[in-house]
Structure 1
């Protein structure tokens, strides 16, 4: 597995609800959450009977209460031991520093923090038990995270019995904290801080919106931290970038361009007739344009908006095309070899913000534009 594919597979996110996206603001802003410690025992001891080496983990997800929709990805902390001091409640120290940026700064967008006990059963297999969850209001009408009086102040996140999946139940109406179906866990809370993090703007193009990450995670394109904290996002710095050129690009489709497009048009035309509940009408779907989206990708997302170019079938009799990807001076790698029945790009592409990192790559997305007959007159529509 390549480094790009490894990073890509672990960084996939669930998009926000389409209706909430319409309320997004023009600019994305960065924020920092510090989950300091869990105080108290958020479960009944009998729930852990028969389990050994019990440790605790925090999991954080973004949630849209308006449409009961989890989005982004679930971040998981490292597991930590419960420390007990005589005469005081138990404490689990985490000191996890998290970052995210978003344009969905709406009071109904929140973070849900779940406490999970991770242990081993008698057979030695790992077992995870949800102990409760808390609702972290990110953009409350009363205390905005960008309010200077609220910055860097420790806050308590109360915990409730059950699982975050309970938030999807139709009986849980807003405000959830006062809902009769939600019961608070007495004597247990999470200590945390929430504040804006303007420094994140430097690296927002390398990190998708609404993805919660730890400062200790490797973000391709960001200089790794060299201090003891290991936090590369507290004062992020960019790795050196360069511009490369993509020349004489050709695309080969299996088993051939002609066979690929013929089968695709047949399937589309069959689908059109099925939708119209009609038999063959003497008309068919036609290809109007072939577009290629080309962009630099760091495994987390496109670092700049992909360029869109038109590719065309190579005329018969033209030989000797070869694709190349070069960083001046010198060629780095060969993309394709000569051959007929290919799609070709007749111009050179300049790709900027490339980084010498194994997770950086070039992503190609081939797009077809079709015209299909509408109505009985055989008129065309794209």
Structure 2
């Protein structure tokens, strides 16, 4: 029980609003999703070496609120020279609510010794799950700008996230072990489970 207490203390989640939860497809088998973050194109706009990280949070565009957890990728080092930065990480999740009004907000942040500085964010439609790659343009600003109704994000940074979002039927057997509305990867500790090649959080690299 102490493992669960420590994990919940590190990874607090925000539940979806009751109305959104009631609009979920009740009685249907929850669907698992796998998100593969492959690379960032256009990073030469930074013109210097820096440490970056991607952060993902679920956003309800109907209720105008964030919910679930904020997932953090592993820190990546950019040399300041290439135009592409390989990410090659995966995360899995399943929703306890309808995906019709939900999107995944992915933020690119620069990590310094004291702060995390936002370098743009992109929006990934959850209903766009398909086997092919997608390109998500990073807009200027931060995800917190979404809390301001009517604020448009049309100015882009020049950076694009190449990723793939798809349904993963293999997750159905382990859905009872996964907290709902939480992005999970290999560095997310789930008390009561072990890391094996057959668990969804055992590998977060993209083949």
Instruction: Report the TM-score, using the length of structure 2 for normalisation.
Output: 0.86
Match of 1:202 in 2: 173
User: How many pairs align?
Assistant: 201
Q: For residues 222 and 202 of structure 1, do their structure 2 counterparts lie closer, same or farther at Cα, with a shift above 3 Å needed?
A: farther
Deviations 1:40-96, CA, capped at 9 Å, x for gaps: 238666xx8xxxx720000000000001110000001111111455xxx52222211
In 2, Cα distance between the equivalents of 1:101 and 1:183? Answer: 30
Match of 1:233 in 2: 200
Q: For residues 42 and 21 of structure 1, do their structure 2 counterparts lie closer, same or farther at Cα, with a shift above 3 Å needed?
A: farther
- 1:17 corresponds to 2:17: yes
Q: For residues 30 and 42 of structure 1, do their structure 2 counterparts lie closer, same or farther at Cα, with a shift above 3 Å needed?
A: farther
Choose from 51, 55, 65 the match for 1:55.
51
Q: For residues 6 and 235 of structure 1, do their structure 2 counterparts lie closer, same or farther at Cα, with a shift above 3 Å needed?
A: closer
Q: Which protein, 1 or 2, shows the higher relative CO under an 8 Å CA cutoff with sep ≥ 6?
A: 2
Match of 1:157 in 2: 136
Equivalence map 1:215-226=2 (5 Å): 215-225=186-196
Equivalence map 1:298-337=2 (5 Å): none
Superposed CA RMSD in Å reads 2.5
Structure 1 residue 235 displacement after superposition: 8.3
Match of 1:7 in 2: 7
- 1:102 corresponds to 2:92: no
Choose from 124, 131, 154 the match for 1:136.
124
Structure 1 residue 186 displacement after superposition: 4.9
Choose from 65, 72, 78 the match for 1:69.
65
Deviations 1:92-143, CA, capped at 9 Å, x for gaps: 22211100011423332000000001123xxxxx22110100000011xxx4
Q: Give the gaps of 5 or more residues in structure 1.
A: 121-125, 173-180, 237-382
Q: For residues 8 and 128 of structure 1, do their structure 2 counterparts lie closer, same or farther at Cα, with a shift above 3 Å needed?
A: closer
Q: What secondary structure is seen at the aligned counterpart in 1 of 2:5?
A: helix
Instruction: Report the TM-score, using the length of structure 1 for normalisation.
Output: 0.48
Which runs of structure 1 show a deviation greater than 4 angstroms over 4 or more consecutive aligned residues?
Answer: 42-45
Q: Give the gaps of 5 or more residues in structure 2.
A: none
Equivalence map 1:358-377=2 (5 Å): none
Structure 1 residue 225 displacement after superposition: 2.3
Q: What secondary structure is seen at the aligned counterpart in 2 of 1:81?
A: strand
Tell me if the contact between 1:157 and 1:190 (Cα under 8 Å) persists in the aligned partners: yes
